Amino acid sequence: MTMLTCISPIDGSVFAEREALTIGDARATVDRSRDAQSGWAGRPLQERIDLVMAGVGAVGAMNDEIVPELARMMGRPVRYGGEFGGFNERASHMAEIAQTSLAPIKVGEDATFKRYIKRVPHGVVFVVAPWNYPYMTAINTVAPALIAGNTVILKHATQTLLVGERLAQAFHKAGVPEDVFQNVFLDHAITSALIAENAFDFINFTGSVGGGAEMERAAAGTFTGVGTELGGKDPGYVMEDANLDAAVETLIDGAMFNSGQCCCGIERIYVHESLFDDFLSKAIEIVNGYRLGNPLAPETTLGPMANKRFADEVRAQISEAVAAGASAHIPTFAEDDGGTYLTPQILTDVTHDMRVMRDESFGPVVGIMPVSGDDEAIALMNDSEFGLTASLWTRDVDRAEQVGDRIETGTVFLNRADYLDPSLCWTGCKNTGRGGGLSVIGYHNLTRPKSFHLKKVTS
């Protein structure tokens, strides 16, 4: 028997435990999902849309319980109210575009032939969701997969062990059949075994580069589609004509919100040398104003990191950088306990020889470097194994588009950061992974094309 245990970052106590499925029970779960799929896909599209959105509404009705539960599981302060706003926005958009996104592509019809391409569901979609934004990242795939006619099996991160249960409870209460959307508790070995057995028709994984590599290795030879969103080291670039106050406020928030544990959080900032000193002083003032503490307290603006090992990695990157010549600008907060509660940090005099500027930090630390102009900034932004988003700051949209064309990334932001627009494809390049979620492209990835070439009998 394997037990999955969620340790609360607030005080190190066991918050929740669940028993992982055996291989036999896991296979039975997949069988039920597969048996239910054709009946679900046979329902009218609008009926599937309505049931999914009813499930979304049922999650919203739980929000008063969900917010403190999230704080206990992964440390986000309750003052920020949870994730339902983004959760609802993403699901609602995918519901709104479903009819047109899934409509057959008409190629042509005349007296002799009728030709078109349909979008048909893969079948059983396996969603492996992360802990940092556990509701929003899950719904990115769950909602469009169900709407498109797939059945869904959801495996959530152990750090947010109860999220999948919440989602399944809400969707079942709303009328989505239990076998159509199932939450499972699986250990890594059983997960890999199921994938290797070709149990699923499509896999969506959000997590670490190492985890994504394990998914691809397990799926090797099965021809199962695997969509991944993996690591990031997202840069911000502040040009000489930028709105400085807006740039500082947005980029530092993008670096520190959720204790830096954001998929598209800002981890590197490049500032034109003419603005560097002013940017730095404003950034230091903002970070010194944070309140580190218990996420259940309403005055807390920065909670603990989700796990001590995550905080230890950030501390190691900071210590190595300082030892190599970097300057740390934030004095240690009194609440920093050497464990999950970690002082947010701003580093200057950093170089790309330091891990803090190369490796994913996924914590409340950011390195800031002065640059002479676009060419230097672009070279530095592209000097990364990752490519999720980049945030550009200038009043010149044409210039931003030209710089954006030269950046190796999935999304280019101008004068904003750390936001997922569901009408745009959420995607990355390099070691950030492959595939794309949300938008019409999200539907294309959760279905397969099926061509119809129909010759009419004319005599």
Report, as residue numbers or ranges, the catalytic residues. Answer: 229, 263
Q: Which amino acid is at 48?
A: R
Strand-pairing partners, residue 397, are none
Of 164, 147, 143, residue with least CA distance to 155: 164
Residues 6+ apart with CB under 8 A from 405: none
Report how far Cα 367 is from the mean position of its chain's Cα atoms: 22
Q: Which amino acid is at 235?
A: P
Please state at what angle helix 84-96 crosses helix 134-147, rounded to 10 degrees.
Answer: 20
Question: Phi and psi (nearest 5°) for 327?
Answer: -105, 125
Phi-psi region of 433 (alpha: psi -120 to 50; beta: other; left: phi over 0): left
Dihedral angle sign, alpha carbons of residues 416, 420, 423, 428 = positive
Report d(CA 430, CA 233) in Å as an integer: 11
Report d(CA 285, CA 62) in Å as an integer: 37
Residues 6+ apart with CB under 8 A from 394: 239, 241, 242, 400, 414, 415
Residue with tokens 């464990």: 339
Residue with tokens 């129909």: 454
Tokens of 182: 């199932």
Tokens of 3: 């037990």
Report DSSP letters for 244-276, one per residue.
Answer: HHHHHHHHHHHHHGGGG--TT-EEEEEEETTTH
> Order of strands across the sheet with 389-393?
327-328, 345-348, 365-371, 266-272, 234-238, 389-393, 411-414
Say how many CA atoms lie within 13 Å of 339 toward its Cβ: 14
Q: Please report which residue ranges of 9-132 form alpha helices under DSSP H.
A: 23-41, 45-61, 63-74, 84-96, 98-101
Would you say 265 and 255 are in contact if contact means Cβ atoms under 8 Å apart?
yes
Report d(CA 214, CA 73) in Å as an integer: 25
Q: Which amino acid is at 190?
A: I
Residues 6+ apart with CB under 8 A from 222: 195, 196, 198
